[in-house]
Amino acid sequence: MNNKQKIYFFSQLQTDGDQNMVDILGGKGANIAEMCKLGLPVPPGFTLATSLCSDYLKTKSLSTSLKKNIKKNIAKTEGIIERTFGGSNPLLLSVRSGAPVSMPGMMETILNIGLTSKTIPFMIDATSGNERFVYDSYRRLIMMYADVVMEKALKLNKSSRPIRELMEKELDSIKKVNGYKNDSNMKAKDWKVLSEKYLKIVKKEFGVPFPDDHYEQLYGAVAAVFESWNGKRAKEYRSFEKISSSMGTAVNVQAMVFGNLGKNSGTGVAFTRNPSTGENNFFGEWLPNAQGEDVVAGVRTPHPIIDEKNSNKSLSVALPKAFEDLKDVRKRLENHFDDMQDIEFTIQENKLWMLQTRRGKRTGIAAIKIATDMVKEKLITKEVAVGRVRPVQIYESLLKNIVAEDLNNNTPVSSGLPAGPGASCGSAVFTAEKAEALGKKGKKVILIREETSPEDIHGMHYSEGILTSRGGLTSHAALVARGWGKSCVVGCQDLTIDKSHRFAKIADKKIKEGDQITLNGSSGDIYIGGLRLFQNPLDNVGPLSQLLSWADKIRKLKIRTNADTPEDCERALEFGAEGVGLCRTEHMFFDEKRVHEFRKMILAQDKKSRTSYLKNLLPFQTKDFYKIFKKMDGLPVTVRLLDPPLHEFINIQRKEMKNLANDMGLSLKLVEERVESLKEANPMLGHRGCRLGVSYPEVTSMQAHAIIGAAVRLKKEGKNPKVELMIPLVSNLKEFLNQKNIVLEAKNEIIGKSGLKINLKIGTMIEIPRACLVAEDIAKEADFFSFGTNDLTQTTFGFSRDDTGTFFPHYFNEEILSVDPFEEIDRKGVGRLMKMAVKDARAVKNSISIGICGEHGGEPKSIEFCKILGLDYVSCSPYRVPIARLAAAQVEI
């Protein structure tokens, strides 16, 4: 190893670097070195360290001593491969960049360096007269070199068109003249003619000839790789990803091997396990008589490495010896790296050469399967397995997806914000009523709306997916969709819906009611027509539950769920929830019969009639809570009292107003006036939450009676309900006390009759900045806190989640925001308030239970923050419970 020159040699025999030297050798170089150390068949070569990059960028030249050192390493390479660079048995080289982090926008590869007018004849000899191969290689070299080295370095291209285009035009013209369909029809002489034309184009465009000296080619390529570190796209990418620009890229110079020397040659890519399913099968594709480029270009269809039908096109049948070698390499790589690898290989006349290995990307399903399998195979520990699966992969593993073929063959008509991941497909409908009507008949529908409101809930329930033209990632549609695990795309600015509710337009494409439409809620893409979907089976005794059971042993944060119905609770329990962190009582009112009764309560003119309407609702609510507490027996259930502004319930048509007027013995005009008077300028900051409970104490009282009544009934049946009654939107101790007293009164009324002891805590949601600021006061009286970070984020930023759609895109474009604070907790602002609240509350009541029930409760980075804050639990929608279980474990690792 030559420290002074910082060039690291690698070969099967001797290697300077290893996999830990990523900073010096780049990712690619480090992995190549490691393969060499393992004794795998890697074409020899050497890596120019990243530090040489900044040296070059200072002087814009390769120093004499560096060149000398390169030559020394070429000599070592020659010695091992037994060919000579520029000699009569010519060694050709590849030059590849390789930064410590994967980075698009940099020059990647130049192949076949060393082909000159002098070495071409030798090369033809060395390949037993394979003139076609040699000229094909030569024209590739000229094009790549002209494009990436000369065009950028010389900047002399007078033509308005890039050099690559000019050259491709020549190739097309030869093919046309000769009536060739594919490049494979090209004959040796055709490639030769083309090469000559290329040389002329280079001369004409750059004013200098294509370098005919092998070292000149090599130095030019190395310099171009270094130069590309400061390319426009690379710089932008670094600035965006906050990658230091002083890092530099390494350069890998390696002996060429050829997969296109005939039927005993070939090239391929493979994964050591199936990256889609995770199954422990060797999974890959290869092409006989081809170079890597050909596999990537997609002109020829590659064959599987192992074909179930044992087709003779499979590598195992076609080149069994090389296949056996490859199988052996696969096993050694997995044993060494303890992870699934993504590899590239070339077979040159039956001899296997390994060109690359790296950690293989995989689907969620595969990540889980591989991690758990590897524990069974004793390759990794349970902790490593838990740490290796990204939380979002769990979510992915449970979703519907568009079949890959359909995904490739269709172009989205437009896109919106990916609000509810997973794909969905169905007939377009434009009203909740229609969605419900068709959905009840078992028809799959996609509900398309400007935005949704609680009035649309029944229709959303029957929809496969939801598409809106307005709203952000935490708009009503998005929240409901994620809560139910439904596919959803929101804020599609190209979407306009006709007021007739019979058709819509997306970017000038008309969609009529009943037309098929497909949403990809993971990407935000929207497709016209019905694309095929698939879903991986959820296997509760399989790898996922295995992995999560390990996670459960590691994590300390409890995981609860946000669930409003016994069905939600059931699903959440299946996913491993340890309680309900948020049960929203308002959703219970949306049943047709009840909402009518509830509306009467809202429109009541006095307390007496209001109380009588509430009395009608009491048995319904009691039954709701009974069922939920029963389902969650022995586990805590946090029930939030009525929260949304009342007018959300009376966003109704004239017909229902008439019904209500008749039913209540009021004039229609009076009902209309009352409905009108309930409208608010800023409902989010209006008459809602505990403010309703203060104005209408009878509502709080009814809900308290229902909750406590249900608990008492279960207690009498020998069950163990654990009730946490939560008062929403508190910003002031006195508000809390006002409501707490109503609840305690209800308790005394009920318990007085039953004589039972029930497990009842009374706490509050911390979702207003002032609640954080006076947490010390509130904590003295509250049994628990639960952060409502959706609303807390809204008020801390002054952002209405329903209105961010208009300015958030600009905020992301202008890099004012890098992440959506409604997705990931804003630690600096919202987080500072939370920290104050936790500190002040614990200072007066160390035992106070504190959790979070906002959408953030299911987001891994936010879960990490909750752990840092010292919260007791996080609560999230049922579908996010598995994610949270994993994320909470990873925080501890």
Binding site for a second copy (CB under 8 A): 451, 470, 496, 673, 677, 680-687, 691-692, 694-695, 729, 731-732, 734-735, 738, 767-770, 773-774, 791, 794-800, 802-803, 806-807, 810-811, 814-817, 826, 828-830, 832-833
Smallest CA-to-CA distance from 845 within 779, 771, 784 is with 779
Owner of token pair 């398309």: 448
Measured CA to CA in angstroms, residue 730 lies from 488, 762, 778 at distances of 32, 13, 9
Cβ closer to a second copy: 481 or 711?
481
Instruction: State the nearest-atom distance from the C-beta of 472 to a second copy, in Å.
Output: 11
Alpha-helix runs per DSSP H in 798-878: 808-813, 830-844, 860-869
Cβ 272 vs Cβ 340: under 8 Å: yes
The torsion angle over the Cα atoms of residues 193, 195, 199 and 200, rounded to 10 degrees, is 30
Side chain identity at 780, as an amino acid letter?
K
The alpha carbon of residue 708 and the mean position of all alpha carbons in its chain are separated, in whole angstroms, by: 42
What is the greatest pairwise CA distance in the chain? Answer: 106
**What is the 8-class DSSP label of residue 564?**
S
Strand-strand pairing, 303-304 and 283-288: antiparallel
Say how far apart CA 506 and CA 510 lie, in whole Å.
Answer: 7
Cβ 226 vs Cβ 100: under 8 Å: no
Please provide residue 348's backbone torsions phi and psi, each rounded to the nearest 5 degrees: -110, 110
Cβ closer to a second copy: 590 or 811?
811
Cβ closer to a second copy: 408 or 682?
682
Cβ closer to a second copy: 618 or 817?
817
Q: Is 853 a residue of the active site?
A: yes
Q: What is the 3-state secondary structure (H, E, C) of 146-176?
A: HHHHHHHHHCCCCCCCCHHHHHHHHHHHHHH
Could you tell me the two tokens for 169?
């035009």
Please provide residue 76's backbone torsions phi and psi, each rounded to the nearest 5 degrees: -60, -40
Q: Is 336 a residue of the active site?
A: no
Instruction: State the nearest-atom distance from the C-beta of 233 to a second copy, in Å.
Output: 23
Cβ closer to a second copy: 434 or 470?
470
Say how far apart CA 272 and CA 727 lie, in whole Å.
Answer: 54
Owner of token pair 């001899």: 351
Instruction: State the nearest-atom distance from the C-beta of 694 to a second copy, in Å.
Output: 5
**DSSP H or E run through 561:** strand 558-562
Instruction: State the nearest-atom distance from the C-beta of 826 to a second copy, in Å.
Output: 8
Could you tell me the two tokens for 203?
């001369």
Measured CA to CA in angstroms, residue 803 lies from 474, 678, 838 at distances of 10, 21, 30
Instruction: State the nearest-atom distance from the C-beta of 851 to a second copy, in Å.
Output: 20
Cβ closer to a second copy: 286 or 736?
736
Coil, strand or helix at 254:
strand
Spell 134-158 as b/e; 16+ CB within 10 A means b.
bbbbbbbbbbbbbbbbbbeeeeebe
Cβ closer to a second copy: 510 or 832?
832
Cβ closer to a second copy: 437 or 684?
684
Cβ closer to a second copy: 169 or 679?
679
Cβ closer to a second copy: 33 or 742?
742
In sequence order, the 6+-apart residues with CB closer than 8 A to the CB of 501 are 430, 431, 434, 513
Question: Of the residues 214, 303, 458, 476, which is catalytic?
Answer: 476
Say how far apart CA 464 and CA 487 lie, in whole Å.
Answer: 7
Cβ closer to a second copy: 296 or 681?
681
Smallest CA-to-CA distance from 630 within 747, 720, 568, 754 is with 720
Instruction: State the nearest-atom distance from the C-beta of 261 to a second copy, in Å.
Output: 57
Say how far apart CA 616 and CA 113 lie, in whole Å.
Answer: 86
Question: Of the residues 53, 425, 488, 853, which is catalytic?
Answer: 853
Q: How many H helices and E strands in the chain?
A: 36, 31
Instruction: State the nearest-atom distance from the C-beta of 830 to a second copy, in Å.
Output: 7
Cβ closer to a second copy: 96 or 856?
856
Smallest CA-to-CA distance from 866 within 581, 575, 546 is with 581
Instruction: State the nearest-atom distance from the C-beta of 835 to a second copy, in Å.
Output: 10
In this structure, how many other beta carbons lie within 10 angstroms of the beta carbon of residue 668?
13
Cβ 610 vs Cβ 604: under 8 Å: yes
Instruction: State the nearest-atom distance from the C-beta of 508 to a second copy, in Å.
Output: 14
Instruction: State the nearest-atom distance from the C-beta of 834 to a second copy, in Å.
Output: 11
Please provide residue 413's backbone torsions phi and psi, each rounded to the nearest 5 degrees: -80, -30
DSSP codes of every residue in 377-408: TTSS-HHHHHHHS-HHHHHHHTSEEE-HHHHH
Q: Tell me how far apart the terminal alpha carbons of the chain are, to the nearest angstrom.
A: 37
What burial class does residue 344 get, using C-beta atoms within 10 Å of its C-beta: 0-12 exposed, 13-18 middle, 19+ buried?
middle
Cβ closer to a second copy: 754 or 800?
800
Instruction: State the nearest-atom distance from the C-beta of 774 to a second copy, in Å.
Output: 6
Instruction: State the nearest-atom distance from the C-beta of 587 to a second copy, in Å.
Output: 19
Measured CA to CA in angstroms, residue 459 lies from 247, 413, 456, 480 at distances of 54, 25, 5, 12
Instruction: State the nearest-atom distance from the C-beta of 816 to a second copy, in Å.
Output: 4
Active site residues: 476, 853
